[in-house]
């Protein structure tokens, strides 16, 4: 039941964003950079290429951001990447302009812990 709610929120937020910016969902899918936090605590950023009713998501030009308290944020290149819907915790739009101004090498943070059901 949880994955259905996430799927509905993702679809509704994409649909609302598309309408507010006078775009169709098909135009939105291949252009928006999103950030996904998975149930195991990973943060994956990439360009949304597609999704389905089970919230399976396809990302292109993706990378994982690995946080550490001792080093800056490491970015591991993943490329074209598919994330199963049942492993997605949070999906959010990434502000590319704001993200470009971040100095990830100076950021320190504890890695996220996995979701425990």
Q: Is 70 helix (H, G, I), strand (E, B) or coil?
A: coil
CATH architecture of the domain formed by 2-106: Roll (2.30)
- Nearest-angstrom CA–CA distance, 67 and 60: 21
Indicate yes or no: pTM above 0.85.
Answer: no
| Residue 96 or 8, more confident | 96
Radius of gyration of the chain (CA): 15
- Nearest-angstrom CA–CA distance, 55 and 93: 15
The tokens 């994955």 sit on which residue? 3
Q: What is the pLDDT of residues 33-74, one digit of tens each?
A: 999 999 999 999 999 988 888 888 999 999 999 999 998 899
The whole-number pLDDT of residue 1 equals: 36
Domain ranges of the chain: 2-106
Q: Measured at the alpha carbon of residue 92, what is the angle toward residues 110 and 10, in degrees to the nearest 5?
A: 135
The whole-number pLDDT of residue 15 equals: 56
């Amino acid at each position: 039941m949880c994955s259905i709610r996430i799927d509905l929120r993702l679809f509704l937020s994409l649909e609302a964003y598309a309408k507010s910016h006078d775009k169709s969902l098909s135009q939105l899918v291949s252009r928006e950079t999103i950030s996904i936090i998975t149930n195991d605590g990973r943060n994956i950023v990439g360009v949304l290429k597609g999704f389905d009713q089970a919230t399976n998501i396809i990302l292109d030009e993706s990378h994982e951001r690995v946080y550490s308290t001792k080093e800056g944020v490491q970015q591991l290149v993943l490329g074209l990447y598919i994330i199963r819907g049942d492993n997605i915790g949070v999906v959010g739009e990434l502000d590319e302009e704001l993200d470009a101004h971040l100095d990830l090498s100076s950021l320190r943070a504890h890695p996220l812990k996995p979701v425990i059901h």
